[in-house]
């Protein structure tokens, strides 16, 4: 098979590993810079061009779309779908998971465990918003934040009011969540491919830090997850419509709760912590499932 790997850089760990895994299995793969793609949106024959070349010979597309280019990246993926090319994660699912508020609402609708979350527009509603999530300490998150950026732990209600007012004053969209103290600064990244959790790791925040992101100095280690956690991760992936994703869970006093579903999860941390060839499992999944016009949305989303 011939794969297009949508990525800004061929030197990134995840991109390199997917290329290696494809070639080891006898496939060919090419890195395509998402932002250098441009589209001819025509009803009779939609096409994608790349540096003067017409891209129409791929069997499958692997989107590695960074959060900062979600809008344009999803448009490129959608164009491939309109051309009948199989995409590992579809454009609708990517944009759905990137919208933190929308994704939580969809997970809530499916009855999946979540931290108590509040969302408001008016500063007048801040005191009730804080009470809604159980008071301080609480977590305030920018909806557009990634890798732990724009996430604040407010230890007191006064601090929470000040931070929320500051964000609202900047016209930033935020949500407020209960702080799961019993998680102890740790979360679990479940890597889902198809309908299976193929790998899981525990990420522990650095001393004095509550965010467990590896980019923030967190440490990763292999972990054995419970059947409930496995089921929660798979249900969360299906609620988003993602074939491959990372589902971040917290262990709370009322069971596993989902923090986030990541449509372009990094491979470095999970492969090093678990010793598993996750990139190879992704390629195997595509080889087994890819076919022309097999996307569910086919560019209609």
Q: Tell me whether residue 271 is annotated as binding.
A: no
Task: Measure Cα distances from 245 to 54, 172, 227, 276 in Å.
Answer: 29, 27, 18, 16
Please tell me whether 8 is known to bind a ligand: no
Could you tell me which residues come within 8 angstroms of residue 175 by beta carbon, excluding any fewer than 6 positions away? 100, 101, 104, 117, 118, 119, 140, 141, 143
40 is in an annotated binding site: no
263 is in an annotated binding site: no
Give the residue carrying structure tokens 């989107």. Answer: 63
Q: Are strands 47-50 and 53-55 parallel, antiparallel or unpaired?
A: antiparallel
Delimit the domains of the chain by residue range.
2-96, 99-113+182-284, 117-179
Dihedral angle, C-alpha 44, 50, 51, 54, nearest 10 °: -40
Asked whether residue 252 is marked as a ligand-binding residue, the answer is: no
- CATH superfamily ID and name for 99-113+182-284: ATP-grasp fold, B domain (3.30.470.20)
Q: Is 252 helix (H, G, I), strand (E, B) or coil?
A: strand
Per-residue pLDDT of the chain (301 residues; tens, 9 = 90+): 999 999 999 999 999 999 999 999 999 999 999 999 999 998 788 999 999 999 988 999 999 999 889 999 999 999 999 999 999 999 999 999 999 899 999 999 999 999 999 999 888 999 999 999 999 999 998 887 666 678 889 999 999 999 999 988 988 888 999 999 888 888 999 999 999 999 999 988 776 666 656 655 578 889 999 999 999 999 999 999 999 999 999 999 988 999 999 999 999 999 999 999 999 999 999 999 998 888 876 445 4
Q: State the pLDDT at residue 215.
A: 57
CATH of domain 2-96: 3.40.50.20
Distance separating alpha carbons of residues 92 and 280, to the nearest angstrom:
25
Q: Is 9 marked within a binding site?
A: no
Instruction: Please indicate whether the domains covering 2-96 and 117-179 agree at the CATH topology level.
Output: no
Q: Binding site annotation covers 178?
A: yes
Given this model, what pLDDT does residue 137 score? 92
Is residue 181 part of an annotated ligand binding site?
A: no
Judge contact between 246 and 190, C-beta under 8 A.
yes
| 212 has binding-site annotation | yes
The pLDDT value recorded for residue 299 is 46
Please say whether the beta carbons of 62 and 86 come within 8 A. Answer: no
Is 262 annotated to bind a ligand? Reply is yes
Q: Return the CATH number of 117-179, one of 3.40.605.10, 3.20.20.140, 3.40.50.300, 3.30.1490.20.
A: 3.30.1490.20
**Closest of 275, 281, 259, 278 to residue 267, by C-alpha:** 278
């Amino acid at each position: 098979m011939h794969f297009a790997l949508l990525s800004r850089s061929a030197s990134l760990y995840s991109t390199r590993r997917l290329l290696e895994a494809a070639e080891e299995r006898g496939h060919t793969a090419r890195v395509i810079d998402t932002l250098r793609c441009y589209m001819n949106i025509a009803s009779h024959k939609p096409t994608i061009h790349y540096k003067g070349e017409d891209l129409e010979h791929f069997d499958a597309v692997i989107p590695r779309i960074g959060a900062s280019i979600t809008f344009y990246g999803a448009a490129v993926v959608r164009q491939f779908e309109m051309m009948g090319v199989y995409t590992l994660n579809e454009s609708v699912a990517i944009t759905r998971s990137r919208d933190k508020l929308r994704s939580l609402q969809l997970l809530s609708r499916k009855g999946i465990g979540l931290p108590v979350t509040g969302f408001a527009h008016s500063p007048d509603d801040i005191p009730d918003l804080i009470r809604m999530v159980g008071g301080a300490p609480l977590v305030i998150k920018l909806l557009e934040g990634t890798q732990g950026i724009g996430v604040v732990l407010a230890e007191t209600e006064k601090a929470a009011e000040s931070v929320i007012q500051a964000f609202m004053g900047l016209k930033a969209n935020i949500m407020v969540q209960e702080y799961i103290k019993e998680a102890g600064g740790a979360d679990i990244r479940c890597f889902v491919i198809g309908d299976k959790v193929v790998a899981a790791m525990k990420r522990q925040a650095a001393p004095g830090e509550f965010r467990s992101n590896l980019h923030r100095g967190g440490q990763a280690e292999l972990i054995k997850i419970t059947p409930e956690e496995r089921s929660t991760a798979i249900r969360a992936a299906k609620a988003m419509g993602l074939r491959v994703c990372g589902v971040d869970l917290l262990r709370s006093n009322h069971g596993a709760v989902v923090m986030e579903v990541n449509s372009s999860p990094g491979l470095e941390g999970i492969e090093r912590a678990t010793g598993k060839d996750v990139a190879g499992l992704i390629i195997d999944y595509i080889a087994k499932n890819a076919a022309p016009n097999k996307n569910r949305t086919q560019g209609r989303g």
